[in-house]
Amino acid sequence: MACKRFLLIGYYGFGNDGDAWLLHKSVQILREKDPDSAICALYNPAKILRKKIAPFESSSILKEITFVNRWNPWAILKTILSADAVVCGGGGLLQDRSSKRSLAYYTGILILARALGKKRYLMGMGIGPLTHKLSKRLVAWAVNGAKVSVRDTESHALLAEICPKTSSIVATDLAYYKAVLQPDPKARQKAPLIGLSLAPLNATRLAALSEGLSRMPQDFLFVMGDPWQDEILSWKCDVLQAKIVDRMAVLSQKTGETRRTPLDRHTLKWAVVMRYHVGVWASLRNIPFLAVCEDPKLAALAESLGQPMLDLSKPVEELADAIHQATLDLIENYSLYQAKLTEKTPQLIAQSAGLALSPTTKTLEQ
C-alpha cells in the first residue's frame, strides 16, 4: 500500500536557513511522489506562533503542511500513530558533536516509530560524528530496517560499521536535488566583496581567525546561515568590524524580515565558509570558497567540490597566519578552484537524482 501520511522530522523552525532549505526539498520530493499526500512536520512552536521566520519557509510548497509542536510528546505520539511513515529530511541530525540531547531526541522518535511498526525513511543524511558507544547504539537501533540514503561516503562507511544490517546508498545533500546552477557574472569583477560565514567558535580562535582575515584588502559580507545566532557572532569579530559592509545577508530571495538582505543581491567573488549549506549555496553560483573546518561534513563537501580547506585544529598561535596563507592560495589559484566547481557541482546535482529513485522514495509504495 502506498504511504499517504508522512511525518517529517528535522531541525525546523529555529531560523536556520540550511534546515529550512532541507524542509523545502523534502516536501518537494514527497509531493512529486504523491501530490495528495498529507505531510506533517515537527516544528519549533515559536515559529508556529510567527515569532521566528526563516526565509525558505515562506515558499508556497510548504503552505499545505501541518506543523506539530516538537516539544509536545503527546502531539508527537498522536502524529506518529496516524502516520504511514516517518521521514528524516536530510541534514546532520544523527551526530553527537553539537548535542547529545539532540541525538537522543531524533533517535528516540525513530525508535518509537520502529516499535509502532511505522516505516522509516532517511533522505540525504549526514551520519556522525558519533564519539560515544551509546550514540552509535542509538543510531543503530533507530535506523535498523529503515530505508536510507546518505549525502557522503563517510556517512555510508560509518553506517555500515555501526549497523551492517541496514544498507544505504550514497546520494548527495538534499539541497542539490533538482538544483539549478546560477553562476554569478558579477563575481568576476576586480574588487568584489568576500563572503564570510562563521559558526560558533571560542573567543581565542575567533580573534585569531578575524586577525588573519583582516589582512585582506577587500571588504566582507557577513553571511548568516543561522540568522538568530550569527548576527551576534558577527559583532564579536572585533578587528573586522570596519571591513564588514553588511552583516544581515541571508541565503534566500525571500528574507521574511525587511532588515535582512538576500545574498544574491550582493557581489561576491569568493567566500570563507564555516557553515555547510553556505558552501552548497556558493557551489551553485560557481563561487570558490575556503572551507574553515571543524565539521568533518563541511570538509567532505569541500573535498567533493575540489575546494581548499583549513583545519581549525591548528594551534591557535598559528591560526592567523594559516588563514591568511589559505586565502592567498585561493586568490592565486582562483581560476583552478572555479574550474573545479564548474566540473564537480553538476555531478552532485546529477547524483541527487538518486534521492528520488533511491530506497528512500522508490519503496514508498511497498
DSSP string, 198-255: -----HHHHHHHHHHHTTSSS-EEEE-SSHHHHHHHHTT-GGGGGGEEEEEEESSS--
| pTM (two decimals) | 0.89
Asked if the domains at 5-178+350-365 and 185-348 fall in one CATH topology, the answer is yes
DSSP label at residue 165: T
Q: By the 8 A CB rule, do 252 and 169 touch?
A: no
Report which of 304, 345, 53 is spatially closest to residue 183, judged by C-alpha positions.
Answer: 345
pLDDT(253) > 50: no
Supply angle C-alpha 188, 193, 196, rounded to 5. 120
Asked whether the predicted pLDDT for residue 304 surpasses 90, the reply is yes
The reported pLDDT for the residue numbered 232 is: 66
Class of 185-348 in CATH: alpha beta
Instruction: Give the range with max mean pLDDT: 119-123, 183-187, 231-235, 247-251.
Output: 119-123
Cα-based torsion angle of the residue sequence 76, 79, 83, 89 in order, rounded to the nearest 10 degrees: -50
CA distance 308 to 296: 14
How far is the CA of 184 from the CAs of 1, 167, 339, in angstroms? 46, 39, 14
* pLDDT bucket at 14, cuts 50 / 70 / 90: confident
pLDDT tens-digit series, residues 181-193: 877 655 455 547 8
Q: Which residue has the cell 502516520?
A: 83
In this prediction, residue 55 carries a pLDDT of 45
Report whether pLDDT(235) > 50. yes
Q: Where are the domains of the chain?
A: 5-178+350-365, 185-348
Confidence of residue 22 (pLDDT cuts 50, 70, 90): very high
**151: number of Cβ within 10 Å:** 31
| More confidently predicted of 260 and 324 | 324
Q: Are 275 and 70 in contact (CB under 8 A)?
A: no
What is the rounded average pLDDT of the residues 259-274?
75
Collect all residues with Cβ–Cβ distance below 8 Å to 150 and sequence separation of at least 6: 122, 124, 125, 126, 127, 156, 159, 168, 169, 170, 171
Pick the CATH number of 5-178+350-365 from 3.40.50, 1.20.58, 1.10.3470, 3.30.2010: 3.40.50
What pLDDT was estimated at residue 52?
A: 43
Half-sphere exposure for 148 (CA within 13 Å, toward CB): 28
